[in-house]
Amino acid sequence: MTKRIISKFLRYIVIIAFLAWILIPVLWMFTLAFKSYPEWRVAYFFPKEPTIMNFILVFEPKQIIGMMGATALVDPVTLPFINSLLVVGASTVLAVIIGFFTAYGASRYNSPGPFSLFFTLLTRMLPPATFVTPIMVYYANLKLLDSHLGLIMLYSAVTVTYGIWILKGFIDQVPVEWEQAALLEGATHIQVVFKVTLPIVKSGLVVSGLFIFLLNWAELLFALVLTNVQAVTLPVHISKYVGAVGQLYGPQAALGILSSLIPVVIGYLIQKHLVTAFTFGMVR
């Protein structure tokens, strides 16, 4: 009896320690967002005088926010927020669509060959800092700097490989006989792909989409180098609150909460698909 209680106790300790390990930074951000300036640098969790000032500040029109020496020149968060939604949304859709068809070819026809498939991971093997400069020069010549299109192209290119690899796993699970049966019953190959394979791996599309979305949503380096005014994304915007003359931790934390809202909402909406995806292939 006591043995069981002890083992149960130990189990909870481990779970709590694990959750603390991954979630405390988030909690810290959460409470920080409600702290007023004097409390930003103090190492305790809960604000003594909770305030929503930080949230209001980030929507203020362009101005110098100055509070007790901490200053930064920032725009309101609206434009970066829309930019992020647009750029990340479009590049995710693009990466998933291209990823699906590439994965289909790889799974069914072993094209473009395992080695080439491995090579689609190349941009993920190098630290992005190594090729951001060439891209910047290239983009400058193509007049793609500070443009949505430039970011969409780059984001979908570096993340399409996840779409390919994740979706190939899903498509491999779909018995080729199902497609052959559809063919024999008179479907064209295009119909087979769109009416049979695609709907069956739907949860895979959603999961790879979420994964790609999260990666791009939090991407900082490319956006920092390649955008300036028009196409600034949320992570770049957030980084601006750390200026040469001071750090605006409070508004930064408030922005952190705002920017995590979108992925959280998306995650909530697609949770049904997440479950399906985790058990995919086990039940037919």
Residue 248 is which amino acid? L
Nearer to another protein, 182 or 253 (CB): 182
Of 78, 116, 133, 191, the one binding another protein by CB under 8 A:
191
Residue 201: CB minimum distance to another protein, A: 10
Of 63, 111, 116, 180, the one binding another protein by CB under 8 A:
180
186 binds another protein (CB under 8 A): yes
Residue 177: CB minimum distance to another protein, A: 4
178 binds another protein (CB under 8 A): yes
108 binds another protein (CB under 8 A): no
- Select from 26-34, 94-102, 196-204, 229-237 the region that touches another protein (CB under 8 A): 196-204
Letters for 61-100 (x = contact with another protein by CB under 8 A, - = none) are: ----------------------------------------
110 binds another protein (CB under 8 A): no
DSSP assignments along the chain, one per residue: -HHHHHHHHHHHHHHHHHHHHHHHHHHHHHHHTT--GGGTT---SS-SS---HHHHHTTSPSEEEEETTEEEEE--SHHHHHHHHHHHHHHHHHHHHHHHHHHHHHHHH--S-HHHHHHTTHHHHS-HHHHHHHHHHHHHHHT-TT-HHHHHHHHHHHHHHHHHHHHHHHHHHS-HHHHHHHHHTT--HHHIIIIIIHHHTHHHHHHHHHHHHHHHHT--HHHHHH-SSTT--HHHHHHTTEETTEE-HHHHHHHHHHHHHHHHHHHHHTHHHHHHHHTBTTB-
- Select from 10-18, 131-139, 198-206, 217-225 the region that touches another protein (CB under 8 A): 198-206
Total number of residues binding another protein (CB under 8 A)?
Answer: 20
- Select from 4-12, 145-153, 192-200, 241-249 the region that touches another protein (CB under 8 A): 192-200
Which positions lie near another protein, rule CB under 8 A? 175, 177-178, 180-188, 191, 195-196, 199-200, 202, 283-284
